[in-house]
Amino acid sequence: MTPFLNVIGDWHFWALVVAYWLVSNAIGALPAPSSTSSQFYGWFFKFANGFAANLTRAAAGKIPGTEEKP
């Protein structure tokens, strides 16, 4: 078998694919922060979406409650 087919046939590869899919969907299901959300949740929302490569959602500047406070 070729190295590519060896990777595709390995159960470890599919376990990682399923784990990434589950984590990505869990992060995608997080509700956007509102004006009543804590600063920590705003940070966590942006961090988690950046980690899951949901860059458009992580970089959204119009998320209420995530703007810097003086």
Cα–Cα distance measured from residue 19 to residue 36, given in angstroms and rounded to the nearest whole number? 32
DSSP state of 30: S
Among the residues of 1-70, which ranges form H helices? 3-9, 11-28, 39-51, 55-58
Is residue 63 in some structural domain? no
Q: Which domain, by its residues, includes 50?
A: 3-58
Is residue 70 in some structural domain? no
**Residue 66, pLDDT above cutoff 80:** no
> For 5-41, what is each residue's pLDDT tens digit?
888 888 899 999 999 889 888 888 888 888 888 889 8
What pLDDT is stored for residue 70 in this prediction? 44
Is residue 67 in some structural domain? no
**Residue 63, pLDDT above cutoff 60:** no
Cα–Cα distance measured from residue 66 to residue 35, given in angstroms and rounded to the nearest whole number? 8
Is residue 20 in some structural domain? yes
What pLDDT is stored for residue 19 in this prediction? 92
Total domain count for the chain? 1
What pLDDT is stored for residue 65 in this prediction? 53
What pLDDT is stored for residue 46 in this prediction? 82
